[in-house]
A and B are shown apart, each in its own frame.
Chain A
Amino acid sequence: MGVAALSTLLILPPGIAAALALARYRGPGKGGLETLLSLPLVLPPTAVGLLLLELLARRAPLGAWLQARGIEVVFTWKAVVLATAVMSFPLLVRSARTAFEEVDPRLVGIARTLGCGPWAAFFRVTLPLAWRGVLAGTVLAFSRALGEFGATVMIAGNIPGKTQTLALAIFHDSQIGRDDRAMALAGVTIVLAFTALWLTEWIIRRRVRTVAP
């Protein structure tokens, strides 16, 4: 749960940046970039986990580089965050991108003539106009992070108290015959997911009313 929140928080800035770039950029390579970003959605999660594991293993260049700086990723909670982040990233990007595409670029231009730098224009116009889509994407990403299993188990293992997430715990408990515990955990996930979705719906609907009285 904490891990899911952390990974969602972590992917927000790059996710929003990528979504904005995809929404505004018109040029060669756009299709390829889109496909690449959406890849984790269609690949088996275990394949993504395996790729990450290969990338970060001690003998791989990136893994060795991190190792040299005393950063251990594989089979720690950091690996869980990384796995869930990679898996939920495309969901955020897709939803946020659609929202950004619906913002009239001329409004951003007008904000610029009214004295806004590029950042101010983004935070005062683009984001406020697209925030519903961004929020929906964030909730989706969060739910995905909560339920992520395949990639996590590959790269972080299933170490109780260390890298065991809710989804992994449910699997683990049901495997060893503790069905009541698994059921209780499943109940927790249901409550969490329901609350998040319901809260989003509520915020969005409340906002719509104030915009068009």
Chain B
Amino acid sequence: MIEARIELPLARFPLRVDLKLGRGVTALMGPSGSGKTSLLESMAGLRRAARGRIALEGERWLDSDAGLDLPPNRRRVGYVPQDSGLFPHLSVLGNVRFGVRDEAAAESAIDTLEIRELLGRYPASLSGGERQRVALARALATRPRLLLLDEPLASLDLALRQRVLPYLVRIRDRWQVPCLYVTHNVGEALAVAERLVLLQEGRVHAEGPPHELLAVAAASREADEGLENLLGGRVAGHDPDAGVTRIELLAGPVVSVSLALDRTPGQAVTLSVRAEDVLVAVEPVRGLSARNVFAARIAAVERTGPDVTLHCALEDWDRGPRWFARVTPAAVSALGLAAGIRVWLAVKSHSVRIV
């Protein structure tokens, strides 16, 4: 358990947060310049102006009232900045071993990130994805008690991002170290984080489980990707004859998506369905080609620009995420859509993307 109460004057507003981080990954999201990096640097001890109190398992790193401020080298955090921050004058091995605490940790980090073939190379000759993996291994080799990842995938293109993301999931599952993870990408947050903190102008705007928080339309609009249904789940299995891969959603039903044989059963995935791709019917659906049909109840009707967004709770899955369906005002009046009405949601398997 990490408690952090931090105050730090920034150029436009003060950073003022009060956070409790448990085990697992906490995603930190928010607009550019909202203080995310400053928060990480304060946690690492790199901002001497930070005031407040930071304690890990009761051990104090910062306690301004008591005049205590541990230097970064005594906090044991693993900090990975956006551009990897590798030491250009050292080989990959030199980088990984830079802060090594015990051999086992270094070896384990090298295996986790699969960088053994890179050990003799220098950072200048590495690709972006390789650099980030080396930076992650370097941080892990110190056996950190807290990982601070500042948009570790942001400098990578989409294809590369999807290649590095599994390593982050692997770190989370194997290393069991609390992690604060800054990202702009909703899919990443859903894929790796158990908790989400939204930062705005230096303050905590909202915090909670990612799928709940991101299901709030306002939170969703802050993210880059517009209004989408983002659903976390696990691969249940492939059905090549039917041409689909089945995904079991967290607190939700099984969804069929276009066959994706590159995903292994059991793997955690995030699905995305655009709100306008969700069809709404007021009677049970029969004879439709869409493979995914779920009974639901409309929880709220919200006017969003020229369209109307329906917030729907799936029947039998009260505690799961709300589904968003975007329809025209004409459809609302023709079908008599209103809060409390029972509906059926239909989604073609081709409309479901694996993020």
Which A residues fall within an 8 A CB radius of B? 104, 106-107, 109-118, 120, 124-125, 128-129, 210-213
The complex places the Cα of A117 from the Cα of B75 at a distance, in Å, of 12
Q: Are A117 and B124 in contact (CB under 8 A)?
A: no
Q: Is residue B85 contacting chain A, with contact meaning CB distance below 8 A? A: yes
Residue of A nearest to B77 (CB): A113
Query: Who on chain A is nearest to B98 by CB?
Result: A114
B-side contacts of A128, CB under 8 Å:
89
Tell me the complex Cα distance, A117–B99, Å: 11
Q: How far is the CB of B124 from chain A (nearest CB, A)?
A: 5
Among candidates B46, B75, B98, B124, residue contacting A212 with C-beta atoms closer than 8 Å: B124
Chain B interface mostly: loop
Closest approach, in angstroms, between the C-beta of B48 and any C-beta of chain A?
11
Q: A112-B46, A112-B72 are in contact. Are A129 and B78 (CB under 8 A)?
A: no
**What is the minimal beta-carbon distance from B24 to any residue of chain A, in angstroms?**
21
B334 to chain A, nearest CB (A): 58
Cβ A109 vs Cβ B46 within 8 A? yes
B99 touches A116 (CB 8 A): yes
Contacts of A210 in B (CB 8 A): 122
Chain A residues, Cβ within 8 Å of B44: 109, 113
- B73 sits at the interface (CB 8 A): yes
Question: Shortest distance in angstroms between A93's beta carbon and chain B's nearest beta carbon?
Answer: 23
- Since A112-B71, A118-B71, A212-B122 are in contact, a sample of 4 more A-B pairs with Cβ atoms closer than 8 Å, ordered by chain A residue number, is A107-B87, A115-B73, A116-B73, A129-B87
Please name all residues of chain B whose beta carbon is closer than 8 Å to the beta carbon of A111 when the two chains form the complex.
87, 98-99
Cα–Cα distance between A212 and B122 once the two chains are bound (Å): 7
Contacts of A112 in B (CB 8 A): 45-46, 71-73
Q: Would you give the 0/1 interface string for B77-107, flagging 1 where the beta carbon is closer than 8 Å to chain A?
A: 1110100010111000000001101000000
A212: B residues at CB distance < 8 A: 122, 124-125
Closest to B125 in A: A213
In the complex the two chains form, is B122's CB within 8 Å of A211's CB? yes
Min CB–CB distance B79 → chain A (angstroms): 4
Determine the chain A residues whose CB is within 8 A of the CB of B81 once the complex forms: 106, 110
In the complex, whether B138 has a CB less than 8 A from a CB of chain A is yes
In the bound complex, how far is the Cα of B79 from the Cα of A106, in angstroms?
A: 11
Q: Is B142 an interface position by the 8 A CB rule?
A: yes
- Which single residue of chain B is at the shortest CB-CB distance from A212? B124
- Tell which of A113, A124, A129, A213 touches B72, judged by Cβ atoms closer than 8 Å: A113
Q: How far is B90's CA from A129's CA once the two chains are assembled, in angstroms? A: 10
Measured between C-beta atoms, what is the minimum distance from B132 to chain A in Å? 14
Rounded to whole angstroms, the CA-CA distance of A207 and B169 in the bound complex is: 38
Residue from A109, A113, A125 within 8 A of B78 (CB atoms): A113
Bound Cα distance A211, B90 (Å)? 8
Q: A125-B87, A129-B88 are in contact. Are A115 and B124 (CB under 8 A)?
A: no
Which of A106, A114, A116, A212 has most chain B Cβ within 10 Å? Answer: A114
Q: Which residue from chain A places its CB closest to the CB of B141 in the assembled complex?
A: A114
> Contacts A115-B99, A213-B122 known; A110 to B73 CB distance under 8 Å?
no
B29-69 with Cβ < 8 A to chain A: 41, 44-46
Contact residues in B for A115 (Cβ distance below 8 Å): 73, 76, 99, 101, 142
Question: Do B122 and A113 touch across chains, with their CB atoms under 8 A apart?
Answer: no
How near does chain B come to A132, taking the closest CB pair, in angstroms?
11
Q: Would A113 and B75 be within 8 Å (CB), given that A107-B85, A128-B89, A211-B88 are in contact?
A: yes
8 A/B residue pairs, CB under 8 Å, sorted by A: A104-B85, A106-B81, A110-B79, A112-B71, A113-B44, A113-B46, A113-B72, A117-B71
Output the nearest chain B residue to A104 by Cβ-Cβ distance: B85
Chain B residues near A116: list those with CB within 8 A. Answer: 73, 99
What residues of A have a CB within 8 angstroms of the CB of B101 in the complex?
115
**Distance of A143 from chain B, by nearest CB (Å):** 27
Complex CA gap A27/B173 in Å reads 46
Determine the chain B residues whose CB is within 8 A of the CB of A211 once the complex forms.
88-89, 122, 124
A110 with B85, Cβ < 8 A, contacts A115-B73, A115-B142 known: yes
Looking across the interface, which residue of chain A has its beta carbon closest to that of B76? A115
